């Protein structure tokens, strides 16, 4: 993941009151009547490049800067704040709609993605300085030419003590599939909304020695004990067996049983 525009250092230097001047909000009403491509507002910008890479030297088509009054301390008023708000109403058969539609085209080596940002949480600052409690970098639709391609990339730079970090979360009872992957028209993998897993390929169990098998686990979890003994193998000569956890509840004493012999695994 490349360096993002905002870092802990730049955040702590950016503590400043909200802009003092006031302005009348502006509204533009436009009717688009053409049957060809048409835009209510267009920005055309030509740039020459800063000569230095990185977002700190970026040339930007549109910048939005919003500061809520007293945002950095405990005096800020409650209220939602959004940088961009899009409402679209669509109708008509086979009519496509997007709240955001973008295209990125790059030549040569470099980094390109469709969306990127950083989320930071900090305690109130009362002395002109402070710290960041949590920071998450997010990139969606990433091509790092000559390196890797990501559908999405999440980097948890800082996590508050005691917090639970979840890389991907879905909720609701209506999901038929939590995840599904096709290779062309062939389904290779899916996880149903009930948590059932189906795959066209092999499932690789975690590889442990008998002595290093987790002391705490969930009942039904499966691993592979690389030195577990099969029937007829002597002590110290185990060639490996699949094992299953028998804990009644997580945190309670755990026994790993060989799935071949039905007895506690030994090496």
Here the contacts of 229-237 (C-beta below 8 Å, separation 24 or greater) are 229/258, 229/265, 229/266, 229/267, 230/260, 230/261, 231/260, 231/261, 235/266, 235/267, 236/267
Pairing of strands 222-225, 207-208: parallel
Question: Of the given ranges (69-78, 134-143, 219-228), which has the lowest mean pLDDT?
Answer: 69-78
Residue keyed to tokens 């980094």: 111
pLDDT per residue over 187-210, tens digit each? 999 999 888 999 999 989 999 999
Bigger pLDDT: 126 vs 172: 172
Q: How confident is the model at residue 248 (pLDDT cuts 50, 70, 90)?
A: low
Question: Of the given ranges (38-47, 196-205, 242-251), which has the lowest mean pLDDT?
Answer: 242-251
Q: How remote is the C-alpha of 111 from its chain's centroid? A: 18
Show the tokens assigned to 121: 């949480």
Q: Where are the domains of the chain?
A: 110-162, 172-203, 204-267
Q: How confident is the model at residue 2 (pLDDT cuts 50, 70, 90)?
A: low
Rounded to whole angstroms, the Cα distance separating 55 from 165 reads 27
Rounded to whole angstroms, the Cα distance separating 56 from 197 reads 44
pLDDT per residue over 67-120, tens digit each? 888 888 878 899 999 999 999 999 999 999 999 999 998 887 778 899 999 998
pLDDT per residue over 9-33, tens digit each? 344 444 444 455 667 888 999 999 9
DSSP H helices, the chain, are: 8-13
Question: Of the given ranges (56-65, 67-76, 171-180), which has the lowest mean pLDDT?
Answer: 67-76
- Please list the residues that pair with 148 across neighbouring strands: 144
- Check pLDDT > 60 for residue 61: yes
Q: What integer is the mean pLDDT of 144-152?
A: 84
Q: How confident is the model at residue 249 (pLDDT cuts 50, 70, 90)?
A: low
**The pLDDT value given to residue 110:** 79
Mean pLDDT across the chain: 85
Q: How remote is the C-alpha of 257 from its chain's centroid? A: 36
Residue keyed to tokens 């040569």: 108
Please report, rounded to a whole number, the percentage of residues in the chain having pLDDT higher than 90: 48
């Amino acid at each position: 993941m490349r360096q993002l525009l905002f870092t802990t250092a730049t955040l702590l230097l950016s503590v400043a009151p909200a802009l003092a001047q006031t302005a009348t909000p502006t509204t533009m009403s436009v009717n688009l009547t053409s049957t060809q491509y048409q835009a209510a507002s267009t920005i055309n910008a030509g740039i020459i490049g800063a000569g230095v890479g990185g977002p700190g030297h970026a040339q930007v088509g549109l910048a939005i800067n919003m500061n809520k009054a007293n945002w950095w301390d405990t005096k800020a008023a409650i209220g939602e704040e959004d940088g961009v708000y899009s409402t679209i109403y669509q109708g008509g058969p086979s009519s496509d709609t997007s709240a955001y539609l973008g295209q990125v085209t790059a030549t040569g080596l470099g980094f390109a993605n469709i969306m990127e940002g950083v989320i930071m949480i900090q305690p109130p600052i009362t002395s002109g300085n402070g710290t960041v409690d949590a920071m998450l970098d997010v990139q969606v639709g990433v091509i790092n030419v000559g390196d890797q391609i990501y559908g999405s990339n999440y980097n948890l730079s800082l996590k508050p003590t005691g917090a639970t970090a979840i890389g991907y979360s879905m909720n609701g009872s209506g999901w038929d599939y939590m995840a599904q992957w096709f290779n062309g028209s062939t389904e290779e993998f899916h996880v149903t909304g009930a948590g059932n897993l189906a795959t066209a390929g092999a499932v690789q169990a975690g590889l442990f020695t008998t002595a290093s098998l987790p002391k705490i686990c969930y009942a039904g979890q499966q691993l592979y004990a690389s030195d577990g003994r099969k029937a007829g193998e002597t002590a110290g000569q185990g060639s490996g067996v699949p094992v299953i956890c028998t804990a009644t509840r997580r945190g309670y004493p755990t026994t790993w049983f060989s799935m071949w012999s039905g007895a506690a695994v030994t090496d």
